[in-house]
Amino acid sequence: MEQNTPQENINSPLQPIMPKTFDKLRAGQKKQIPTWVGFLIIVLFTVIVFGGVFVWQYFFVKLPAVVEVTKVQSKTAGWKTYTNSQYGFEFKYPESFGSFTDYKYAAGLGSHNILTGLSSNVSDGSRFFLSVMTMDEFSFSNTGGIVITYKNNRCDSSEPKYLKKNDSFIFRGSEGCYILEGDAGGGFIGYVIPDNVNNRIIEIVNNFSFSGNSESIARQNIEQILSTFKFITPTVQTTLELWPDVNSFDLANKTFQAKGVRNSAKDVQNIKVYTITSTKIYRTEYNGSGYEVAENYDFLGFYSLLKNWIGPDWWFTIKGELNSDGSINATEIFMTSQS
């Protein structure tokens, strides 16, 4: 008996679907992401990553050094600067310190070999002093009944040394703060700064009284000066007698040159002299026993006098700072005609 093999049912619903489904899948595998879309994805990813790092650093990472510098700059904004180019130091001070005047007397513990000094009346009622002294030996002996507190470093040191009667201390090349209290109340707060290079001592002093400004305010005044105090390269002071060249005067920049040095064996020529607003210019006359100031001049009047002068040449005594190139920053000019 012949056995019949069942024929495939071409109308089965699976047959027409499967091949079409695979064709669609294969067609989908051949599709690619457009280039501009990929580039845009890379850019967005980069922005998100770097933006996140910036936000994290800005809001969560603290920069103490920068913050501290900003605080100091903000605190001293508007302060004036005092510069002593002769002894090589400068500091900033607030408006409350007023203006400085020369003061070459003992103010604090230092009482010998005072080279220069200054003082000012502070708006809080106290008085501020600064003295420059030689460092041969800066010492103090407590021979009276006053109470002295010596501190090895800043005035807020926690390790003070109290000096009783007949005690003494010596500053030798190191900084130190002291507080001196008198019997009647009040006293001084002082700070000693050594200039070991030039063998000098700089003493800063602020007085206080219990009826006026307190010790804490005086301490604050000292700290304000110390916060910006620094040493600078001192300038060389000079005094020269020069023959001026009237044809070299520069009225715009207020400079002139000298043809030579008076009474000098060296042939020194073309020494440039700079003047500034504070330069004092005098004409001197011989009074029988010496020279004295007869008139004051500004730079234009100074030039006009020389330009129109007919007679013996003038020679100048120039006082000022000697620059490394041999020029002079004049602080005072004394004009004297040759007789």
Show the domains of the chain with their CATH numbers: 88-231 (3.40.1000), 236-337 (2.40.50)
So what's the pLDDT on residue 120? 94
Instruction: From first to last of the 339 residues of the chain, give the pLDDT tens digit.
Output: 444 545 544 444 444 444 554 455 455 555 566 777 667 777 777 778 767 766 666 666 555 545 555 555 678 889 999 988 888 899 999 999 999 998 887 776 665 678 889 999 999 889 999 999 887 656 666 666 556 666 555 565 555 555 555 566 665 556 777 777 765 567 888 888 888 888 888 889 998 876 666 778 888 898 899 999 999 887 787 888 888 888 899 999 999 998 878 766 555 567 899 998 889 899 888 887 777 888 888 999 889 888 887 766 778 889 888 887 888 989 899 988 655
Nearest-CA neighbor of 129 among 116, 139, 112? 116
Is 217 in contact with 125 (CB distance < 8 Å)? Answer: no
Written as one string, the DSSP assignment of 216-246 is HHHHHHHHHHHTT-EE-PPPEEEEEEEEEEE
Structure tokens of 300?
Answer: 């234009």
Residue 333 in contact with residue 320, Cβ under 8 Å? no
Q: Tell me, what's the pLDDT at 22?
A: 43
The runs of H, that is alpha helices, within 153-297 are: 215-226
**How much is the pLDDT for 337?**
67
| Nearest-angstrom CA–CA distance, 239 and 77 | 37
Give the separation between CA 280 and CA 296, rounded to whole angstroms.
8
**Tokens of residue 52, six digits:** 């996140």
Of 205, 199, 190, 202, the residue nearest 230 (C-alpha): 202
Alpha carbon distance 275, 293 (integer Å): 19
